[in-house]
Chain A
Amino acid sequence: MIEIKNLTKDYGGHIAVDDISFVVNDCEILGFLGPNGAGKSTAMNIITGYLSATKGSVSVNGYDVLEQPIEVKQEIGYLPELPPLYLDMTVKEYLNFVFDLKKVKLPKGPHIEEICKLVGIKDVYHRLIKNLSKGYRQRVGIAQALIGNPKVIILDEPTVGLDPKQIIEIRNLVRMLGKNHTVILSSHILSEIQAVCDRVIIINKGKIVADDTPKNLSNNLSNDLSLSVVFEGEKEEIIKALKQVNGIKTIDFVKEKDGECEFNIEPRAGYDIRKQLFDTASLNNFAILKMSSNSLALEDIFLRLTDESYSAEAIKRSLKTKKDKEEK
């Protein structure tokens, strides 16, 4: 279990992490999400003991990072943003060095071999790291984090630079590790977090702006969202009819094409207007050709939470362009 309390990091006036608190339970896969410069890496560097916090405390499985750094570091396997590789070593030499460095008590040969198999670097085992492609280097970095079978694994953007097939492999690996490890994973790719994590923490400008499961996040923020409805009929008549419906906050006309009118209709908070829309339409004799709710994808939630200037208008626009794309 990782407990983080009131963590603050002040780089001489620039506050990278601002009073963050959260708990990561055992065998949980936590996604750390945020735009570039949000403080993800700084937070991870503090948890792993690479940096010290200005204020606040971090404890890993009961050990305090400041007071028992060696014990904490023994519990953690860490892949930083740039994999810390010695380019002049072969993969074999490097992993053997890490094994010695971490003072691992497991049988050396079989343990390293098992990890190599797991991350798929067996065929480059005897090559110089300098000559490996970015994807392979990243995997060697992950292998390094797994050495010694630490209980907590922290991966800072583990899928950067990998091709789609490798990304899926790494995701599966993370999911598998999550069964008996605590995993913290950072990313700015939302689909990745959505696919792998049990829980998401969205961080922006050093502050936590959301902490929930991906599903709940998507649900909670979608309540007040608008419906997209396509009617068959005249624009003016439809608007006139819609104005009679109780519970509608705004009616936005989107476009008209071949006698089909599309509207974005936003209900007042707490109103479900779908049935009323249907009744109104049937009463006035214009058919509803399509009705869908503009539920927010994690991507939109992310934009919404991390950008103050991102007004409701802007969200609407982004939803619209997304829909246009889908239609194409």
Chain B
Amino acid sequence: MGAIIKRELKEYFTLPLGYVALAVLLYFTGDYYSQKFYSGRADIAYVFSCMLFVILFVVPLITMRMLSEEKHQKTDQLLLTSPTSITSIVLGKFFAAIIYFLIFDFVLLILFLAYYIFGASPDFMVFLGNSIGFILIVAALISIGEFISALTESQIVAGLCGFAVSFMLLFVENAANYTKNDIVLKVTSWLSFSQRFSNFSEGIFDVANFVFFLSITAAFLFLTIRVIDVRRWA
């Protein structure tokens, strides 16, 4: 697994994609951060909630080539005939992407610490809650993106489908508001990533939310492994 993580991370930063995606993230972060900063407010939660919208575009960008490109270039033959299990291949790629977003989270930490320099004293738990919620959502979106990438050989298809599914999961309750059906509203608000994130954003650590995101991540990683394994039998 170590070899895979190392290679993936290296690829993020030898291909322009990794830099471009990080640049996009940092541009928007800077924008939202400075909006509040110049109005004299140390509001990191606002930055995080705005970034939720940006990662919708960035996560599929990162995950789209994950497995589809391996298949397209036939490099999956190397991975699958080496003495490494499918699980460690899938997890290796997953963790590499997580590390990539942790780098971004680290930049946010620097921005947060900058508040102290300028005399504000925001609650660190707010940053921690937001960070954890953010990484949990990213993890779930990465696992979904990785799963979609395992289904197709085309990066573009994987990217677009990943985006559509992520968008739906994040903002499903907005659409549901048009119906007056109670059950639909209940299901969608239960499913909605952004509603669950708002808990973290306020610094509330609800076990149900942890379990929710972690199970989605685990389920899609498992499905990814199964898809690759089953393809060998086709």
A residues contacting B by CB (< 8 A) are: 11-12, 45, 48-52, 54, 70-71, 73-74, 76, 78, 80, 82, 84-89, 93, 97-98, 100-103, 144
Contacts and interface: CB of A to CB of B under 8 A. Distances in A.
A100 B78 contact: no
Q: Which of B3, B15, B76, B233 has the most chain A CB within a 10 Å cutoff?
A: B3
A63 to B, nearest CB: 11
Given A50-B81, A97-B7, A103-B83, A82 B2 contact: no
Interface in B49-89: 73-85
Interface string B207-234: 0000000000000000000000000111
Contact of B79 (A11, A85, A101): A101
A74 B81 contact: no
B31 interface: no
A78 B232 contact: no
Given A85-B75, A86-B73, A100-B6, A49 B84 contact: no
B11 interface: yes
Given A84-B78, A89-B7, A89-B14, 19 more contacts: A11-B234, A45-B77, A50-B80, A51-B232, A52-B233, A70-B83, A70-B85, A71-B83, A73-B81, A84-B73, A84-B76, A86-B75, A88-B15, A97-B7, A98-B82, A100-B2, A101-B78, A102-B84, A144-B78
Contacts of A52: 232-233
Contacts of B73: 84-87
Given A100-B3, A100-B6, A80 B74 contact: yes
A84 B10 CA distance: 18
- The contact size tier of chain B is 20 to 34
Contacts of B2: 100
Nearest first, the 4 A-B pairs at minimum CB distance are: A100-B3, A84-B78, A73-B83, A74-B83
Contacts, number: 73
Given A52-B232, A100-B6, A84 B84 contact: no
Contact of B3 (A12, A88, A97): A97
B10 A93 contact: yes
A98 B233 contact: no
A73 B170 CA distance: 42
Nearest to A99: B3
A57 to B, nearest CB: 15
Nearest to B88: A101
A12 to B, nearest CB: 7
A113 to B, nearest CB: 19
15 contacts: A11-B234, A48-B81, A50-B232, A51-B232, A70-B83, A71-B83, A80-B78, A82-B77, A85-B75, A86-B75, A88-B14, A89-B10, A98-B82, A101-B4, A103-B84
